[in-house]
């Protein structure tokens, strides 16, 4: 017999409803088998579907499992924020006022919440440094770029496998029309700066064909690790915002701040669908 689980679908990283990145959240999901979780995530066909469970670490408020349509991820940004919002609205009470601790495959992730605003502490990267020549050439070819247009590049992997190239302008990032036919396992992005005085400091795009997501509308995990790179390199200030999603009809806005060396990634989170999931 099917069981009903509390369900929410949350729009993340846009102050305008239905213009951010959606995540499906199954709450009180203890008892669901791995196969059922993956089947549900494949069926929702969103970039991520999450399952909120009881924590196994006493320092955590809840445990989160994150699935793409094809596989499980140790960490992802917009699912972290969206799941925290759904957990709070489902009656979740943090152990510490103004703070949430999420347990996930990447370990413990700290979040701040102040009213409607949520942000997460960017987790440590597991791989950094410039891209090797062979990988960079594959990225350049997939993006249809002249290699001279790449002004910087870096592994920015905090779990999903991200790499990024830096272009000279946001305009160049928006103009990309990638072809991943020969690069189906790519997990790669592009970032470029807006002119001084613009509403946002950077435009960022994220492509994840490896997990069957051609372009992620607004990507928290990549913004987190790119922010770690750019602020460490002195290319970005300690507070700035990023625009993402224009090319796919979204209006994402990601707020980056650095507090005593820790990068925080925040944005709007709005529960748009509430109900139950029959599993």
Tokens coding 13:
């990283």
Regarding whether 174 and 110 lie in a shared domain, the answer is no
Tokens coding 264:
């925080």
Per the domain annotation, does 157 fall within a domain?
Answer: yes
Regarding whether 175 and 91 lie in a shared domain, the answer is no
Per the domain annotation, does 273 fall within a domain?
Answer: yes
Would you state the torsion angle of the CA atoms of residues 174, 199, 191, 189, taken in this order, to the nearest 10 degrees?
Answer: -70
Whether the CA torsion 94, 257, 66, 229 is positive or negative: it is negative
Per the domain annotation, does 251 fall within a domain?
Answer: yes
The per-residue pLDDT for 257 is 97
Round to whole Å and give the CA distance between 210 and 224: 20
Regarding whether 274 and 226 lie in a shared domain, the answer is no
The per-residue pLDDT for 116 is 76
Q: What CATH number is given to the structural domain containing 232?
A: 3.10.310.10
The share of the chain scoring above pLDDT 90, in percent, equals 94
| Number of residues that make up the chain | 279
Round to whole Å and give the CA distance between 258 and 233: 13
Regarding whether 246 and 138 lie in a shared domain, the answer is yes
Domain membership of residue 223 as a residue range: 133-257
Regarding whether 166 and 78 lie in a shared domain, the answer is no
Per the domain annotation, does 179 fall within a domain?
Answer: yes
Regarding whether 86 and 178 lie in a shared domain, the answer is no
Regarding whether 112 and 186 lie in a shared domain, the answer is no
Mean pLDDT of 167-177: 98
Q: Which residues are catalytic?
A: 48
Regarding whether 230 and 158 lie in a shared domain, the answer is yes
Tokens coding 176:
């990309």
The per-residue pLDDT for 67 is 96
Regarding whether 75 and 148 lie in a shared domain, the answer is no
Give yes or no for residue 37 having a pLDDT over 80. Answer: yes
What is the tens place of the pLDDT at every residue in 72-113?
A: 999 999 999 999 999 999 999 999 999 999 999 989 999 999
Angstrom CA distances, 181 to 80, 186, 217, stand at 30, 10, 20
Per the domain annotation, does 151 fall within a domain?
Answer: yes
Q: Is residue 114 exposed (0-12), middle (13-18) or buried (19+ Cβ within 10 Å)?
A: exposed
Give yes or no for residue 148 having a pLDDT over 80. Answer: yes
Per the domain annotation, does 128 fall within a domain?
Answer: no
Give yes or no for residue 153 having a pLDDT over 90. Answer: yes
Give yes or no for residue 146 having a pLDDT over 80. Answer: yes
What is the tens place of the pLDDT at every residue in 120-135?
A: 999 999 999 999 999 9
Residues 6+ apart with CB under 8 A from 137: 147
Round to whole Å and give the CA distance between 16 and 251: 8
Per the domain annotation, does 58 fall within a domain?
Answer: yes
Regarding whether 13 and 114 lie in a shared domain, the answer is yes
pLDDT tier for residue 205 given thresholds of 50, 70 and 90: very high
pLDDT tier for residue 189 given thresholds of 50, 70 and 90: very high
Regarding whether 94 and 169 lie in a shared domain, the answer is no
What is the tens place of the pLDDT at every residue in 222-265?
A: 999 999 999 999 999 999 999 999 999 999 999 999 999 999 99
Regarding whether 52 and 76 lie in a shared domain, the answer is yes
- Let me know: does 267 contact 16? Beta carbons within 8 Å: no
Tokens coding 80:
């972290």
Per the domain annotation, does 244 fall within a domain?
Answer: yes
The share of the chain scoring above pLDDT 70, in percent, equals 100
Give yes or no for residue 211 having a pLDDT over 90. Answer: no
pTM, two decimals, is 0.94
Domains in the chain: how many in total? 2
- Let me know: does 34 contact 10? Beta carbons within 8 Å: no
């Amino acid at each position: 017999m099917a069981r009903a689980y509390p369900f929410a679908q949350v729009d993340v990283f846009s102050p305008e409803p239905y213009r951010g990145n959606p995540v499906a959240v199954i709450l009180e999901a203890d008892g669901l088998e791995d196969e059922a979780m993956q089947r549900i995530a494949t069926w929702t066909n969103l970039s991520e579907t999450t399952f909120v469970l009881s924590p196994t670490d006493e320092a955590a408020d809840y445990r989160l499992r994150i699935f793409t349509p094809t596989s499980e991820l140790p960490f992802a940004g917009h699912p972290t924020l969206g799941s925290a919002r759904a957990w709070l609205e489902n009656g979740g009470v943090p152990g510490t006022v103004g703070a949430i601790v999420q347990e996930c495959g990447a370990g413990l992730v700290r979040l701040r919440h102040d009213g409607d605003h949520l942000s997460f502490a960017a987790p440590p990267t597991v791989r950094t440094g410039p891209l090797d020549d062979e990988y960079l050439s594959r990225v350049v070819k997939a993006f249809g770029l002249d290699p001279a247009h790449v002004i910087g590049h870096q592994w920015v992997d905090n779990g999903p496998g991200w790499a990024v190239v830096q272009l000279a302008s946001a305009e160049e990032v928006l103009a990309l029309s990638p072809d991943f036919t020969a690069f189906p396992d790519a997990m790669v992005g592009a970032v470029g700066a807006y002119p001084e005085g613009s509403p946002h400091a950077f435009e960022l795009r994220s492509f994840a064909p490896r997990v069957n997501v051609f372009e992620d509308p607004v990507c928290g995990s990549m913004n987190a690790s790119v922010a770690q790179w750019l602020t460490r390199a002195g290319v970005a200030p300690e507070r700035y915002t990023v625009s993402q999603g224009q090319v796919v009809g979204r209006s994402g806005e990601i707020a980056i701040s650095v507090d005593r060396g820790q990068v925080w990634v925040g944005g709007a989170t709005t529960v748009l669908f509430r109900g139950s999931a029959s599993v």
